[in-house]
Amino acid sequence: MPKKGTIAGQLASDSKKICKAIHQYSKGKISSENMDTLMEIGHGCMVTKNYIYQRYGSIKSLEKLYPGYTIEAEVKEAGFREKIGLPSVYFSAAMDRALGDIRIMWAQVKSGINDAAGKNERFSPQDRHYIRFAVKVSGCFENILNGKPVSVPKEIQPKYEMILAELGDEREQRVRNLNRYICRQARKRLRRQHTENETYFSIKMQGYRYGELDGEHGIFLTTKINRKRMFIPLTDKNVYDRILDIKLNPQKRTIEIIVPLFVNIRQHEDYINEIGISLGLWNMITTSTGNVYGSAFGKMQNEISDYILEEMRRNGKAKTSDTKRYMAYKAKMDAALKNYVNMEINRMLEMEKPEVIYMAKLPRNPGMSMKGTGDTYFLRMWKKGFVTERIQWKCQDNGIRTIEVIGKGIGTDCSVCGQKGYIEGETFQCPVCGYEENKKVNGAKNALNRGKTGKQLNKQFPQEKEEGIIKEHTEK
């Protein structure tokens, strides 16, 4: 399988960072000549990756993978780059990505072995302890796989001997058996990586420069021809200074630049609560603990839609004008609302200190477009989607998990006894057990109950995901 999540390689080494990708797009059509040049580079990078997968994806090369200097020297020695004529800013980026992919594969092999050992009932806790140790400690795993004697770092030697002692009198035989098990499991999981993707490659910082040409902002990319850089106009004026991923669309003759941004996850050791929330059009968030955040949410939205409606009335047609004054004022109100949403979500996180937040999945609503219609319902639906997204991002930044639960009937089920109740005004009432509560609080409690009992739709574990999180993120 061709791998796309190449950024993950850098990610695996630092689990407290998440990756948010920013996208940039080429403006207009790229000339066929330039597109050909890019395709050639893409092809070269694919070939490079496959070369690295082929040469360094096996058990034999495992010990060379960390830290990787040996590989760099070997590849240089082999003169492969010169053979395929790829500029080093692309070549070494492709090499890094491929090595990153191989490292990720090994990490998966290791965790697979641990999982299998954990489920294998033949093993005693001491056996599993040995396996975990052997898989994790450098000098163990690669030597076992290569049939070499194990040599662990001095400072870990006592620990190693203790684990061996735990295995009892027949430890030699057991270690042999366990090592054989590790080898078998590793071979079973090892896969030779390969990519057919010629339209996705990376470029190192030294290989590009943002700038202007003929009044257009864009990016200059290194080409095979010495000193000749290709200019590609971009739709935005942002500049970045890191390794970039480039995705080609030869049919449309466009490119997309993917900029990985690594963001530190804030760790809050005191965030240990599980809460449910329900979103509202008037009160933005109600929690299962009975608190409300964003109580001015509905009022602010109404002001915006009133303004749009008023403007439409003044124009005497079902269309808003696009005068500067109108646009500027509308943008100001939108910004104020977004700012308010962010502030209130922050306040919620600080107050509730959640480790996990459960929330109902929003119904998919096609045709949610609200451009110029002034339709308050659609406006509100759209804002609700915006709120969910903001919550998810804020949570990710703070190392909090958000889990969506099944939304059906979440407002009308009784959060105490589970029977169907009814809603009167703002109040939920249960005819079976007599429970009475604010309807939003009841909904939030249902979200919490459903989350805890496993009626979950997705799970987002911001720091635990090995492949990393690559997602659009444009706003701080």
- Positions that interact with Zn ion (CB under 5 A): 414, 416-417, 430, 432-433, 435
Tokens of 410: 């979440």
CB of 432 to Zn ion, least distance (A): 5
| CB nearer to Zn ion: pick between 284 and 410 | 410
Give the distance from CA 129 to its chain's centroid: 32
| CB nearer to Zn ion: pick between 126 and 429 | 429
Amino acid 437 reads: E
CB of 437 to Zn ion, least distance (A): 10
Strand partners, 230: 221
Amino acid 207 reads: G
What dihedral do alpha carbons 153, 159, 161, 163 form, nearest 10°?
A: -130
| CB nearer to Zn ion: pick between 382 and 435 | 435
| CB nearer to Zn ion: pick between 145 and 414 | 414
| CB nearer to Zn ion: pick between 336 and 432 | 432
CB of 117 to Zn ion, least distance (A): 46
- Is residue 325 within a helix (H) or strand (E), and if so which, with residue range? helix 324-352
| CB nearer to Zn ion: pick between 331 and 423 | 423
- CA neighbor of 44 nearest in space, from 223, 229, 220, 244: 223
Q: Report whether 290 contacts 351 (CB < 8 A).
A: no
Q: Report whether 20 contacts 263 (CB < 8 A).
A: yes
CB of 285 to Zn ion, least distance (A): 24
Give the distance from CA 287 to its chain's centroid: 26
Amino acid 324 reads: K
Residue 431, preceding peptide bond in cis (omega within 30° of 0):
no
Burial class of 197 by CB neighbour count within 10 A (0 to 12, 13 to 18, 19+): middle
| CB nearer to Zn ion: pick between 301 and 446 | 446
What dihedral do alpha carbons 200, 206, 210, 213 form, nearest 10°?
A: -100
Nearest-angstrom CA–CA distance, 306 and 299: 10
| CB nearer to Zn ion: pick between 73 and 417 | 417
* Number of helical (H) and strand (E) elements in the chain, helices listed first: 13, 15
CB of 289 to Zn ion, least distance (A): 19
Q: For the chain, how are helix, strand and coil distributed in percent, rounded to 5?
A: 45, 20, 35
Burial class of 267 by CB neighbour count within 10 A (0 to 12, 13 to 18, 19+): exposed
| CB nearer to Zn ion: pick between 281 and 416 | 416
| CB nearer to Zn ion: pick between 213 and 417 | 417
CB of 159 to Zn ion, least distance (A): 54
Q: Does residue 153 sit in helix, strand or coil?
A: coil
Give the distance from CA 326 to its chain's centroid: 37
| CB nearer to Zn ion: pick between 193 and 449 | 449
Residue 67, preceding peptide bond in cis (omega within 30° of 0):
yes
- Is residue 344 within a helix (H) or strand (E), and if so which, with residue range? helix 324-352
Burial class of 273 by CB neighbour count within 10 A (0 to 12, 13 to 18, 19+): middle
**What letter does residue 464 receive in the DSSP assignment?**
T
